[in-house]
Structure 1
């Protein structure tokens, strides 16, 4: 190649040189301009709709709610109420389950601790000595009436106190005792003290045949409360008033499936001042007013004809 040819090539117009370059080769300045234009396009905000009115692609600004459509604070609070209620309900359930698992102490029984107990099974071999030991039961007045229809017996072999009447249908026999605390030796005030006894009526002669507990009994004038069970499956509450005709006045008579006719029945009384709680087999069945008599001793009582047996007479602390 000659020198003139070389100079001519160097003087070619720049625009022409650009045209003479292959299509796939781009000038660096043109590449920079293309990059800037692309960045400008990327920086433009997305349009919710294209020219055809169609929504933009998923994830574009067309899917975002407008600012005024967002839930208010009150709406958020209202929507959260079901969740809060569910959480509270679950917490209450958990607490209830824990409380259920905690062992609960049963209510204390008024017959839990005995202060005096008479089971009528003294080991005394001499009958006369045994009679003296049980004199307060067999001969409370110290003067036996030969015309008395009642016979009394302490059966130490079977551990029973027995009353028998086969003649006088209208007779009533009762015994009360002044007792001392087994542990301290002091006399027991029985006015409000819980008392129980086991009662059985293996033989009875009339519908009025009954036996049970004497409560707040006094000698002069003679007055007391009586809680009685009968072989027909009923229990009664009666009072003998200090001023009256001298007979028993029945407050009520009711049937109970807790009573075992001909079998042993455990009955109890618990005093609370002006009211008494009545128990059958350690279950309270009735509460009665007791304003007429406020003091006295406890014991046992039987009415009308029959054989009446008692065991395990107890006073409690």
Structure 2
């Protein structure tokens, strides 16, 4: 494993492409050639003072991560969190590194599902180790963008933390906009006439609400770590980067406001849909009651005349039968007109 890791300098690892995404030495804001060994590269970065290492890993196992842990002196509790994943967004300070957990979010418009990944960052005096779980990570784009901005990359590991956090929060804003578009379509369907196409709207609303809850689990807990980065002094973080993190916090606040608005609007749409269903059911019950009343009157008259009695009105008259039928028809028509005026039919 050590030999495979050492061959990964400056390029995608061939034998361990699944684990090592990239390993590079950055000197004075630019990607540079360096030693193939982690220890030598780290010693070089510390000796020069204007260089740092950036190692990117994807879902490493405990054995695969053990070399990185020993070389960079990562805290075992942070390593355990990075390996097991399923963490809330957080920031923890250890003696030799800073540990940050982010949750990138991706929205599948076709399946109407929100998928969250996990992104862990270890920041030291001259190194950054990123560990990715799941999909939707913006790291590839962040690395390309940073390598085109040497002035920003000169700030070292802090620049990586800022750029990654900014990219993740920008994803939140984009996903919130996509969710809002889909929610507008759902709202239109809710207030459309009831039919076969929208009988399962309540189920869709509940499904949509679950996606928003999943989204909130990624965005809301991140507010505290970003506030700490923007407002307090932390080891391994450049003090001059506070305004940048305040900007990230502002974007995150807007994303959280959008998520809260989506949640409230979903609750309102669900209430409106249930109220609409109740009104529709009441209308259906009135119609059923009206038709039942119109059917009950002739049934009652026919039932009375079907009894075996001799002394009944007009029983012996030749016009008795058509008179009773006419009476039935007249009563039914009268009830029909009355229900029409009442709006029951």
State the TM-score, normalized to the length of structure 2.
Answer: 0.21
Structure with greater proportional helix content: 2
Task: Using CA pairs under 8 Å that are at least 6 residues apart, name the structure with larger relative contact order, 1 or 2.
Answer: 1
Q: Which has the larger radius of gyration?
A: 1
TM normalised by structure 1 equals 0.22
